[in-house]
């Protein structure tokens, strides 16, 4: 069937609410407003205010309440409007959600799912546009997911809700309108492994979430010039599926990492370091990274575009690697 | 235990139990000071001495199915909740027999089987968790109360206000227990708050709120019983401002330059333990033998806990990374 990423996210929520009466949705504007990105449109009418719960603008309280509700036997799906706002709840996410299992010696599971948008590209300026999922991927105890396809938008929530540990789902804001074909019976997806989205032999391009499309577009351009790029979608940012990345590098011997985070201390730095640690002698060229410019994301369209990883930047990086 | 005279009436039994809890918490912590000086216990350790009437009075009001969320000054809460003293002390010794398998220490005591949810060392950090536990109970139609204990310092945190608003808005079954010992670490309430009447501030959210003389265990128990009854009746949250005082420093590292010795001495005269003993003597026929029996029981429990803690094995280093993620997915 023809659908959009937004509708796939909504179907995933509807399905979760239908399948398990312990599941409820909580966040800012998820109910009466219809979801700040219209993801939860119609769910309030369908499931009622008890299970589609509008919250005050109190990120720390409602994320922490999600932790408590998870401890109390429910399966909360908490929505934070953007990753920038999640910083108001960072204490609860890091000091409690990620930590309680270990600090209690294995007694307290926190089966909580937090969804939030991330990323730039909509001229929303610095406080609504950052890509901080790499920061969250730094934290032991969390599982970090970045659905980049319709299948993953539809299926990752399902799998995440089976997980006894806290799972954060980062949905890139520019993807909601993406449309395409999705199987009628699309179901849960693997959240342990990265996926090869485009096989190739000459260079490995690693991407995730909002940068997957950029990488695939760049691979099309490269194919036109005789360079066969393999595109890997990380899908899960923590724990990283390095065997898939290393396997690809062992075939192509060249690596480009595309990351909408800032370069310094980023997820791209982690991937580059691990490939250098574990597969340095597989490499025929220096590792290339295409990241966001080290600035708060600006409003003006031309500046925002200049700050973000672009198709041409990926093409140029791959061409340098291939030499 | 044998407390012959005091066992005479149900009321005397309840009061004796309050005293018994306060004495075992007090004597336990006094011994912890020695063990800390002997380097058996390390890390930050925050003592509850002087505040025991709150642990004894609030937790007696709860049923086993209720939940408790606590702070880093929680030895008394854990003991009054029924977490075995062996497991508490072994945790402070960093042993695998500790109630958090040596990963939490003094500030992070947990016991899922008793619904004791810590042990949170971020001031105010437990308030959202308590709110969520209460939300789960309400959504599952369980007749359960969550007691959330926190200090006056937490009232300055945004989470306090966010959570009182949320709990009142959703009429959640949570008992907010502010242990107002008048100091947030070394900062006096009046030096950090524009309005120092905390019960009044809580009541501005539409939450029934009472100030309580928390140097009086009977007053605490009475207020907690009333509040829990009201919450179980579906009234939504209640707030107790438990006015207390810690006789010791904020932590073992605190040189205590921020308050006068005379002030501390004044409050020590209000010590809740002798105060309750006096009431029991006057009203329930309590005798020196009854007091001695309670003291002896506490001493033997502590001695056994120390022996057990010293014998407790260390968690194997090979298990360092266990419990970061669940072992069963």
pLDDT > 50? residue B303? yes
Mutate to test the interface with B, among A93, A94, A105, A160 (most CBs of B within 10 A): A105
The minimal CB distance from A56 to the residues B69, B108, B165 is found for B165
- Model confidence pLDDT, tens digit, residues B179-214: 999 999 999 999 999 999 999 999 999 999 999 999
DSSP B12-59: HHHHHHHHHHHHHHHHHHHHHHHHHHTTSS-S-----TT-HHHHHHHH
- Has residue B75 been placed in a domain? yes
- Model confidence pLDDT, tens digit, residues B67-98: 999 999 999 999 999 999 999 999 999 999 99
Kindly indicate the confidence band of residue B7, based on its pLDDT and cuts at 50, 70 and 90. Answer: low
The residue-averaged pLDDT of A53-79 equals 98
What is the domain-level CATH number for residue B62?
A: 3.40.50.970
- Model confidence pLDDT, tens digit, residues A280-305: 999 999 999 999 999 999 999 999 99
- Has residue B324 been placed in a domain? no
The residue-averaged pLDDT of A14-37 equals 96
- Model confidence pLDDT, tens digit, residues B230-242: 999 999 999 999 9
Going by the DSSP 8-state scheme, the letter that residue A139 receives in this structure is S
Q: What is the pLDDT, as a whole number, of residue B171?
A: 98
| pLDDT over 90 percentage in chain B | 93
- Model confidence pLDDT, tens digit, residues A162-193: 999 999 999 999 999 999 999 999 999 999 99
DSSP A256-321: EEEEEEESTT-HHHHHHHHHHHHHGGG-SS--EEEEE-SSPPPSSHHHHHHHS--HHHHHHHHHHH
Residues sharing a CB contact under 8 Å with residue A60, sequence separation 6 or more, in sequence order: A88, A89, A91, A92, B128, B158, B159, B162
What would the two tokens of residue B302 be? 């502590």
Kindly indicate the confidence band of residue B254, based on its pLDDT and cuts at 50, 70 and 90. Answer: confident
Q: Give the active site residues of A.
A: 59, 128
State pTM to two decimals: 0.95
Residues of chain B contacting residue A138, judged by C-beta atoms under 8 Å apart: none
Q: What's the mean per-residue pLDDT of chain A?
A: 97
In degrees and rounded to multiples of 5, residue B98 shows phi and psi of: -70, 160
Pairwise CB contact (< 8 Å): A68 & B163? no
Domain count, chain B: 1
The residue-averaged pLDDT of A20-27 equals 98
- Model confidence pLDDT, tens digit, residues A97-136: 999 999 999 999 999 999 999 999 999 999 999 999 999 9
A105: left (phi over 0), alpha (psi -120 to 50) or beta: left
The minimal CB distance from B110 to the residues A67, A107, A109 is found for A107
Q: What is the pLDDT, as a whole number, of residue B9?
A: 85
Enclosing domain of residue B110: 10-311
The residue-averaged pLDDT of A85-93 equals 97
Residues of chain A contacting residue B133, judged by C-beta atoms under 8 Å apart: 68-69, 71-72
Q: What is the pLDDT, as a whole number, of residue B5?
A: 53
- Has residue B107 been placed in a domain? yes
pLDDT > 60? residue B269? yes
pLDDT > 60? residue B243? yes
ipTM value, please give it: 0.94
* Min distance A91 CA to chain B CA atoms (Å): 8
pLDDT > 80? residue A36? yes
| pLDDT over 70 percentage in chain B | 98
Dihedral over Cα of A295, A140, A24, A72: its sign: negative
- Has residue B326 been placed in a domain? no
Closest to A85 measured CA to CA, from A118, A53, A109: A118
- Model confidence pLDDT, tens digit, residues B18-52: 999 999 999 999 999 999 999 999 999 999 999 99
The residue-averaged pLDDT of B114-136 equals 97
- Model confidence pLDDT, tens digit, residues B160-181: 999 999 999 999 999 999 999 9
- Has residue B178 been placed in a domain? yes
Poorest-confidence range of A135-139, A253-257, B184-188, B274-278? B184-188
- Has residue B216 been placed in a domain? yes
Q: What is the pLDDT, as a whole number, of residue B6?
A: 46
| pLDDT over 70 percentage in chain A | 100
- Has residue B322 been placed in a domain? no
pLDDT > 50? residue A143? yes
* Min distance B210 CA to chain A CA atoms (Å): 23
- Has residue B5 been placed in a domain? no
Q: What is the pLDDT, as a whole number, of residue B2?
A: 47
DSSP A175-204: STT-EEE--TT-----SS--EEEE--SSEE
């Amino acid at each position: 069937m023809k659908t959009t990423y937004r509708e796939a996210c909504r179907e995933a929520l509807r399905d979760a609410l239908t399948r398990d009466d312990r599941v409820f949705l909580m966040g800012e504007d998820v109910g009466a407003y219809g979801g700040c990105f219209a993801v939860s449109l119609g769910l309030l009418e369908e499931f009622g205010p008890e299970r589609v719960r509008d919250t005050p603008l109190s990120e720390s309280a409602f994320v922490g309440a999600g932790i408590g509700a998870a401890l109390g036997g429910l399966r909360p799906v908490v929505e934070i409007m953007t990753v920038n706002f999640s910083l108001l709840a960072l204490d609860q996410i890091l000091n409690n959600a990620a930590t309680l299992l270990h600090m209690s010696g294995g007694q307290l599971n926190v089966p909580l799912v937090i969804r939030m948008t991330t990323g730039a590209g909509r001229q929303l300026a610095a406080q609504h546009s950052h890509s901080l999922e790499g920061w969250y991927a730094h934290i032991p105890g969390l599982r970090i997911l970045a659905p980049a396809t319709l299948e993953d938008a539809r299926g990752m929530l399902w799998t995440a809700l089976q997980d006894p540990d806290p799972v954060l789902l980062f949905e890139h804001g520019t993807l909601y309108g993406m449309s395409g074909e999705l199987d009628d019976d699309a179901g849960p997806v693997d959240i342990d492994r990265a996926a090869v989205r485009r096989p190739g032999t000459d260079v490995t391009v690693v991407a995730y979430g909002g940068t997957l499309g950029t990488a695939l577009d760049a691979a099309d351009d490269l194919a036109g010039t005789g360079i066969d790029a393999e595109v890997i979608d990380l899908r899960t940012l923590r724990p990283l599926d390095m065997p898939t990345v290393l396997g690809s590098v062992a075939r192509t011997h060249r690596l480009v990492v595309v990351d909408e985070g800032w370069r310094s201390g980023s997820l791209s730095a982690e991937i580059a370091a691990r490939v250098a640690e574990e597969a340095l002698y597989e490499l025929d060229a220096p590792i290339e990274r295409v990241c966001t410019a080290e600035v708060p994301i600006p409003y003006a369209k031309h500046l925002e575009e200049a700050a973000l990883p672009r198709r041409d930047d990926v093409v140029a990086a791959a061409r340098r690697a291939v030499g | 235990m044998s407390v012959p005279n005091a066992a005479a009436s149900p009321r005397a039994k309840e009061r004796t139990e309050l005293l018994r809890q306060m004495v075992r918490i007090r004597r336990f912590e006094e011994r912890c000071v020695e063990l800390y000086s002997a380097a058996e216990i390390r890390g930050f350790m925050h003592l509850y001495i002087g505040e025991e009437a709150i642990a004894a009075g609030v937790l007696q009001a709860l049923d086993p199915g209720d939940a408790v969320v606590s702070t880093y000054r929680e030895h008394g809460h854990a003991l009054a909740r029924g977490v075995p003293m062996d497991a508490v002390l072994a945790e402070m010794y960093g042993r695998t027999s500790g109630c958090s398998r040596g990963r939490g220490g003094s500030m992070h005591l947990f016991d899922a089987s008793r619904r004791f949810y810590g042990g949170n060392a971020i001031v105010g950090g437990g308030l959202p968790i308590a709110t969520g536990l209460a939300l789960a109970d309400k959504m599952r139609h369980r007749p359960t109360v969550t007691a959330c204990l926190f200090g006056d310092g937490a009232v300055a945190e945004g989470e306090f206000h966010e959570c009182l608003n949320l709990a009142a808005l959703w009429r959640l079954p949570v008992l907010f227990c502010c242990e107002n010992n008048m100091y947030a670490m070394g900062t006096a309430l009046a030096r950090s708050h524009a309005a120092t009447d905390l019960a009044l501030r809580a009541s501005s959210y539409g939450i029934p709120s009472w100030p309580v003389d928390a140097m009086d265990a009977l007053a605490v128990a009475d207020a907690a019983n009333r509040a829990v009854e009201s919450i179980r009746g579906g009234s939504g949250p209640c707030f107790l401002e438990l006015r207390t005082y810690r006789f010791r420093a904020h932590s073992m590292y605190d040189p205590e330059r921020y308050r006068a010795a005379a002030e501390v001495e004044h409050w020590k005269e209000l010590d809740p333990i002798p105060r309750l003993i006096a009431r029991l003597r006057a009203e329930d026929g309590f005798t020196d033998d009854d007091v001695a029996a309670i003291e002896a029981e506490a001493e033997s429990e502590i001695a056994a806990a120390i022996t057990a803690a010293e014998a407790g094995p260390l968690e194997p280093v090979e298990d360092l990374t266990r419990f970061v993620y669940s072992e069963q997915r």
